[in-house]
């Protein structure tokens, strides 16, 4: 992602169970201990506010 965006951490609810997950820069995935699901962390520009960065959680793909 562009270096013009900077963030320290973000807290979001797990899409499956709403458990609070903490996201940090440089991490590419996060694991929810409550529902035992893994998610990939992606950064993107907001479609409605291109000057803002949004973090997206996508279900982690199984290895192999």
Give residue limits of the domains in the chain.
Answer: 8-42
Q: Mind listing the pLDDT tens digit for each residue in 8-54?
A: 888 999 999 999 999 988 899 999 999 999 999 998 899 999 988 88
Integer Cα distance of 27 and 6 in angstroms: 14
What residues contact residue 41 under an 8 Å CB cut-off, 6+ apart? 23, 27, 28, 29, 30, 55, 56, 57
Task: For residue 62, give the DSSP letter.
Answer: P
What residues contact residue 2 under an 8 Å CB cut-off, 6+ apart? none
What residues contact residue 48 under an 8 Å CB cut-off, 6+ apart? none
Question: pLDDT confidence of 1, banded at 50, 70, 90?
Answer: very low
């Amino acid at each position: 992602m562009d270096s013009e965006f900077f963030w320290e951490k973000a807290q979001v609810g797990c899409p499956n169970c709403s458990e609070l997950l903490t996201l940090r820069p440089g991490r590419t995935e996060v694991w929810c201990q409550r529902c035992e699901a893994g998610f990939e962390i992606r950064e993107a520009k907001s479609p409605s506010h291109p000057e803002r960065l949004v973090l997206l959680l996508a279900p982690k793909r199984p290895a192999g």
